[in-house]
Amino acid sequence: MVQEEGSSSVSSSPLQMLSLMSLSPGSLGSPYWLRDMKSEERGLCLIHLLVACANHVASGNMENANIGLEYISHLASPDGDTMQRIAAYFTEALADRMLKNWPGLHKALNSTRITSVADEVLVHKLFFEFCPFLKLSYVITNQAILEAMEGEKVVHIIDLNCFEPAQWISLIRALSARPEGPPHLRITGIHHQKEVLDQMALRLNEEAEKLDIAFQFCPVISRLENLDVEWLRVKTGEAVAISSALQLHSLMAVDDEMIRRNSPSLSKSPNAGNLQRALHMNPRTLSDFLEKEVINSPDSASSSPMCLSTSPKMASFLNALWGLSPKLMVVTEQESNHNGGTLMERMMEALNYYAALFDCLESTVPIASIERQKIEKMLYGQEIKNIIACEGVERKERHEKLEKWIPRLELAGFGRVPLSYHVMLQARRLLQSYNYDGYKVKEENGCFIICWQDQPLFSVSAWRFRRF
Amino acid sequence: MNDSTQSGDSCSGNQAAPAKPIAKKKRNLPGMPDPDAEVIALSPKTLLATNRFVCEICKKGFQRDQNLQLHRRGHNLPWKLRQRSSKDIKKRVYVCPEPSCVHHDPARALGDLTGIKKHFCRKHGEKKWKCDKCSKKYAVQSDWKAHSKICGTREYKCDCGTLFSRRDSFITHRAFCDALAVETAKPPPPPPTPPPSQKDAADIAPPPEAPSPEHSPATDVVSPVVPVESSSPNPTSISVIEETHMTNLTASCSSSSSSSTNGSSSSNVFSSLFASSTISSSQTTGFTDLFRAIPHPCYTPEIAPSSSSEPIALCLSVNQGYGSAGMERRQYPPGAQPALSATALLQKAAQMGAAPSNASLLRGLGLVSSSSPQQQIETDSASLASGLGLGLSCDGGSGLKELMLGTPSVFGPKHTTLDLLGLGMAVSGGSTGGLSALMTSVNGGLDVALPFDGEEMNEVD
């Protein structure tokens, strides 16, 4: 248990000093009742404090929020138990959000931050290795591709975030072993860092040479939002498969304020574009669509389905992908709603979600290690910070549940491809082979949900080009 | 160009001047010679001959008489250019002298003398011209020249490796390129077992010894979950798909991870755990083995693989298989309790009405009292209070509830509503929030909490 024993009071306000001192009579350390807490109590305490603090931040009550943060700082720590660590990152996010009220201060504090490319690459690799989620996603994607491309002679795979060679190496092996022989394979990898793609090219070409199959790797160095599908060079006659792992949600980052200002009634009434598309849908999907709209809580404006297509970036991107007539598109996304309009909504969802993620990471890497800390800090921590502290275009981690993705993708012209029994077998086999305890893959309407202790964490669904 | 034949066996007409015809020559459709044209059969010698007109002075050879005449001018010799003799030109077609050739038949005669000459050379002649860049040979010099101009200047390359100098042929090829499907006559690298998509069922059966393949290079890539357990060599009664079996496997494997050896030994264990299945070593189990097999050169994990104790303690759902199997709780100091997982904590907090679950919290914070959870809260917090010693609150147990709901405490001495952080939502007690509430509640809490505290500290939980 890590508790800070040092002097806790930094503020100059006499009232605060007083309050703190009164809490711990005779001692200048942290309030006595904050010490010696068992971890469970402390955890519960942290939860309450976090929620209360977030509430204050949301309502603009900075003073109280500050006090809250102060208390939390006695209990939270990036080196403590799970709840302590979670609290540490959440409070950092909250503090970041508060600091944005002083933009100059915020910029000044962040101006000397050094971002190392190698570190970023490393943390993604760590996430791949220590958590099964990406592995599961890749296994499911690969098996789905194998099945969809049966009989195809020219296969073109587009990876929207190409950084892990293992995924495609395994696909190359599987394709080269299929009974009708390997197809002519082309993989187009998109990433914003050249080094990653270089490494990728090396490994994949090496593997293809070993197996002597016709293979070509085309790197595209670009961020997803700047991508022009022309760069992908899709040719007529080739069968296209698209793999999107935790990428699509960032395209929903829009200037919420502007949208809300421009179309105040947007959330209430469908905008024309949507309606038109809705009319083009076949009756079954339309009714599903409308049903979902009713079910979704009408309160949260920006999460109403009618706002689904208002992100122009997302709509145009999906349209462009649709224009490639993909035979298969596998979409993996976080199964949680972190795109609520209000801070508290997001706070609650994020607390539950990241608690599960921290827990399962702990179960895989129980001994406190630098790797776990890196994943927690540089991956989860950054996501949390983005969800809590950022707004508008900056907020890229706009995770949404599968039930929101389905109508969005259907509107864009994709039809669902149910994931087969064999795919599920592969996924379960992976879990077993790694002895991942506590994870489960559930099937829901042809899509897969990867759960930890029955809490859904990631969703994997497969789509195809569909003519209206 | 018409030519006067020397040794011809035909009835060729007079030499016609090579002057350009005034009217455009009518061309027959290819393959269909003019039915009333004159058929001329020239001998091979004639066809192959070049430079039959020789200047007597310098012995220079010319293919055409006209050219020779013009050359003779240079020697100041008398020269004469002959005009085209007859007014209306008789259409002439030529047949190939080679009997086995298609064009031997007058019905397939060629309409042009140069054409028939070239044809004869190409088909029945010796290839005397060779390209110096590639090894292509040509019988006709003009063909050779044309080729060497474009040889090496190819512009289009299909992905399958074929080169094209022409755009149209390239495009056509590319759209239907299946050259490689044909080309790979080599059998694919022999897998010991059939590919996954077809034969999954079969695959399930074979790897009974171990749920998955092993790979020696797996060591550096292996996830640290890998249990150090070696005592359960056949963790899988393989109806491997079943969840319960999975937990059986993992349970037995993960249980005695007390040994929690580091790095090296764990890798041995891991490989031994899955050692027996050689079948699955290849790609049939598809992709799972892959992830382990692929070494990550830039990264070497150093974690001691052992599964955590916490989920074991707290697994809400997946705990069936945990029987005997030497389930020792791993490694926590005696007397201390393994920490609750964060999700369990959240659920607990939610149960208590504090609800870090979506809407209820908001309601709880915003509203005064939600009576429904109260009964539950009382019992819960009663039990919790003793364990909690949450001096936060005025009175041990209800503090939590109050924290969230902002209602007056249900049991214990009533103080001004908690509002530790000045939530300001409390109705009773009138403390509005901010520091004042903080002060009052805390002050109140001091007195009451002490006895509670004293109690809890002795509890072992």
The tens digit of pLDDT for each residue in A89-148 reads 999 999 999 999 999 999 998 888 887 888 888 999 999 988 999 999 999 999 999 999
**Out of A293-297, A428-432, A440-444, least confident range:** A293-297
pLDDT for res A12? 39
Q: Is the pLDDT of residue A336 over 50?
A: yes
**Out of A244-248, A403-407, B143-147, B257-261, least confident range:** B257-261
pLDDT for res A167? 93
Name the helix (H) or strand (E) containing B439: helix B435-458
What is the number of other CB atoms lying within 10 angstroms of the CB of residue B77? 12
Q: Quote the distance between the C-alpha of residue B62 and its chain's center.
A: 65
pLDDT for res B28? 65
Name the helix (H) or strand (E) containing A328: strand A328-334
Q: Which of B193, B197, B242 to mutate to test the interface with A (most CBs of A within 10 A)?
A: B197
Q: Is the pLDDT of residue A286 over 60?
A: no
Contact (CB, 8 A) for A302 and A217: no
Q: Is the pLDDT of residue A23 over 50?
A: no
Out of A280-294, A301-315, B23-37, B62-76, the most confident range is B62-76
Instruction: Give me the half-sphere count of Cα atoms (radius 13 Å) on the Cβ side of residue A197.
Output: 18
Q: Which of A15, A19, A47 to mutate to test the interface with B (most CBs of B within 10 A)?
A: A47
Average pLDDT over residues B330-337: 40
pTM of the model: 0.52
Residue ranges of B 253-292 with Cβ closer than 8 A to chain A: 253-254, 260, 274, 282-283, 285-292
Percent of chain B residues past pLDDT 90, beyond the cut: 0
Question: Where does the pLDDT of residue A437 fall: very low under 50, low under 70, confident under 90, or very high at 90 and above?
Answer: confident
Q: What contacts 24+ positions apart, CB below 8 Å, involve B352-355?
A: B352/A44, B352/B377, B352/B380, B352/B381, B352/B384, B352/B400, B352/B401, B352/B404, B353/B377, B353/B401, B353/B404, B353/B405, B354/A44, B354/A47, B354/A48, B354/A51, B354/B400, B354/B401, B354/B403, B354/B404, B355/B404
For residues B209 and B276, give the distance between their C-alpha atoms in angstroms, rounded to a whole number. 6
> How far does A140 lie from chain B, in Å, by closest CA?
9
Residue of A nearest to B461 (CA): A38
Average pLDDT over residues B195-216: 42
> How far does A277 lie from chain B, in Å, by closest CA?
32
Q: What contacts 24+ positions apart, CB below 8 Å, involve B242-248?
A: B243/A440, B243/B318, B244/B320, B244/B321, B245/B321, B246/A428, B246/A431, B246/A432, B247/A437, B247/B318, B247/B319, B247/B320, B247/B321, B247/B322, B248/B320, B248/B321
**In A, which residues are within 8 Å of B196 by CB distance?**
143, 146, 174, 422, 426
Question: Where does the pLDDT of residue A51 fall: very low under 50, low under 70, confident under 90, or very high at 90 and above?
Answer: very high
Buried b (16+ CB within 10 A) or exposed e, B399-419: bbbbbbbbbbbbebeebbbbb
Residue ranges of A 77-106 with Cβ closer than 8 A to chain B: 81-83, 86
pLDDT for res B169? 78
Average pLDDT over residues A255-263: 69
The string of pLDDT tens digits covering residues A341-362 is 889 999 999 999 999 999 989 8
Residue ranges of B 148-177 with Cβ closer than 8 A to chain A: 159-160, 174-177
> How far does B133 lie from chain A, in Å, by closest CA?
28
> How far does A30 lie from chain B, in Å, by closest CA?
13
- Check CB contact of A206 with chain B, cutoff 8 Å: no
pLDDT for res A255? 73
pLDDT for res A89? 94
Q: Is the pLDDT of residue A423 over 70?
A: yes
Does B422 sit within 8 Å of A182, measured CB to CB?
no
Q: Which of B350, B459, B442 has the alpha carbon at shortest distance from B391? A: B442
Percent of chain B residues past pLDDT 70, beyond the cut: 32
Does A68 sit within 8 Å of B306, measured CB to CB?
no
Average pLDDT over residues B331-338: 42
pLDDT for res B23? 53
For residues A144 and A446, give the distance between their C-alpha atoms in angstroms, rounded to a whole number. 12
Question: Where does the pLDDT of residue B88 fall: very low under 50, low under 70, confident under 90, or very high at 90 and above?
Answer: low
Average pLDDT over residues B383-392: 37
Average pLDDT over residues B209-226: 41
pLDDT for res B199? 43
> How far does A113 lie from chain B, in Å, by closest CA?
24
pLDDT for res A367? 78
Amino acid letter at A132? P
Q: Is the pLDDT of residue A202 over 90?
A: yes
The string of pLDDT tens digits covering residues B230-281 is 444 444 443 444 444 444 434 443 444 334 334 333 333 333 333 333 333 3
Task: Name the residue with higher pLDDT: A102 or B438.
Answer: A102
Does A437 sit within 8 Å of B307, measured CB to CB?
yes
Percent of chain A residues past pLDDT 90, beyond the cut: 50
Amino acid letter at B406? G
pLDDT for res B361? 38
Average pLDDT over residues B140-159: 80
Does B438 sit within 8 Å of A352, measured CB to CB?
no
**In B, which residues are within 8 Å of A453 by CB distance?**
311, 315-318, 343
Q: Which of B397, B389, B346 has the alpha carbon at shortest distance from A87? A: B346
Query: Three-state SS for B172?
Result: helix
pLDDT for res A207? 92
For residues B218 and B268, give the distance between their C-alpha atoms in angstroms, rounded to a whole number. 10
Amino acid letter at A335? E
pLDDT for res A331? 95
- Which among B342, B389, B423 has the least Cβ separation from residue A82? B342
Does A171 sit within 8 Å of B195, measured CB to CB?
no
Average pLDDT over residues B306-318: 38
**In A, which residues are within 8 Å of B307 by CB distance?**
363-364, 366, 435, 437
Q: Is the pLDDT of residue A273 over 80?
A: no
Question: Where does the pLDDT of residue B101 fall: very low under 50, low under 70, confident under 90, or very high at 90 and above?
Answer: confident
The chain-wide mean pLDDT, for chain B, equals: 55
Task: Name the residue with higher pLDDT: B391 or B94.
Answer: B94
- Check CB contact of A344 with chain B, cutoff 8 Å: yes
pLDDT for res A155? 94
The string of pLDDT tens digits covering residues A380-402 is 999 999 999 998 888 999 999 99
Q: Is the pLDDT of residue A69 over 60?
A: yes
Alpha-carbon distances of A139 from A216, A241, A460, B414, rounded to whole Å:
21, 15, 11, 59
The string of pLDDT tens digits covering residues B6-54 is 444 444 444 444 444 455 666 666 667 777 788 888 888 777 777 778 8
- Which among B186, B310, B423 has the least Cβ separation from residue A212? B186
